[in-house]
Amino acid sequence: MYFDLRPKTRLKDFYNREKELKELLRSIKEKDPLILVLGLRRYGKTSLVLTCLEEYKIPYIYLNCRLLPSLGPVSPKDLALLLTESFNKFLKRRKKYFKRIKELLERIEEISIAGFEVRVKAPKAGYQTVVKILNSINELNEHIVIVVDEAQELRRLARYRFDALLAYTYDHLPNITVVLTGSEIGLLYKLIHKEDPEAPLYGRAYHEIVLKPLTKEQSKDFLIKGFKQKGLNPPNWFINTAVKKLNGVIGWLSYLGYHTSKQRKFSQKTIEKTLQEASKIALAELERFLALRPLARKRYTTLLKEIALLEKASWSKLYKLTQAEIGKIPKPTFNQLLRKLLEANFITKENNKYKITDPVLQYALKHLTSH
Kindly state whether residue 169 participates in binding Mg ion, applying the rule CB under 5 A: no
Listed ranges 41-49, 54-62, 119-127, 200-208: which one lies at the site for ligand ATP (CB under 6 A): 41-49
Minimum distance, C-beta of residue 369 to Mg ion, in the bound complex (Å)? 30
Contacts of 42 (CB under 8 A, 6+ apart): 249, 250, 251, 252, 278, 281
46 binds Mg ion (CB under 5 A): yes
Q: Which does 129 bind (CB under 5 to 8 A by kind): ligand ATP, Mg ion, none?
A: none
DSSP, res 96: G
Residue 42 lies near ligand ATP (rule: CB under 6 A): yes
Of 74, 69, 24, 70, nearest to 46 by C-alpha is: 24
Contact with ligand ATP (CB under 6 A) among 47, 138, 261, 274: 47
Q: Toward ligand ATP, which CB reaches closer, 45 or 220?
A: 45
Q: Quote the least distance from Cβ 119 to Mg ion, whole Å.
A: 27
Comparing CB distances to Mg ion, the nearer of 221 and 277 is 277
Identify what 280 binds: ligand ATP, Mg ion, none; CB under 5 to 8 Å per kind: none
Pick 152 or 302: Cβ nearer ligand ATP: 152
For residue 247, give every residue at least 6 positions away whose Cβ sits within 8 Å of its Cβ, in sequence order, or none: 213, 359, 360
Q: What angle do CA 212, 315, 185 make, to 5 degrees?
A: 30
State the greatest distance between any 2 C-alpha atoms of the chain, in Å, as a whole number. Answer: 68
Q: Nearest-CA neighbor of 278 among 158, 200, 358?
A: 358
Where are any strands of DSSP class E within the chain? 34-38, 60-64, 111-114, 117-120, 144-149, 176-182, 207-210, 313-314, 347-350, 353-356
Distance CA 20, CA 197 (A): 29
Query: According to the binding rule CB under 5 A, does residue 152 interact with Mg ion?
Result: no
Query: By rule CB under 6 A, what count of residues binds ligand ATP?
Result: 22
Of 222 and 266, the one with the shorter C-beta distance to ligand ATP is 222
Query: For ligand ATP, which stretch binds (CB under 6 A), given 4-12, 106-114, 262-270, 322-330?
Result: 4-12
259 binds ligand ATP (CB under 6 A): no
Residues 172-191 that bind ligand ATP (CB under 6 A): 183
* Coil vs helix vs strand at 205: coil
Element at 331 (helix H, strand E): helix 331-343
The type of residue at 47 is S
- Residue 15 binds what, of Mg ion, ligand ATP, none (CB under 5 to 8 Å, by partner type)? ligand ATP
Contact residues for Mg ion, defined by CB under 5 A: 46
Contact residues for ligand ATP, defined by CB under 6 A: 2, 4-8, 14-17, 39, 41-47, 183, 250-251, 254
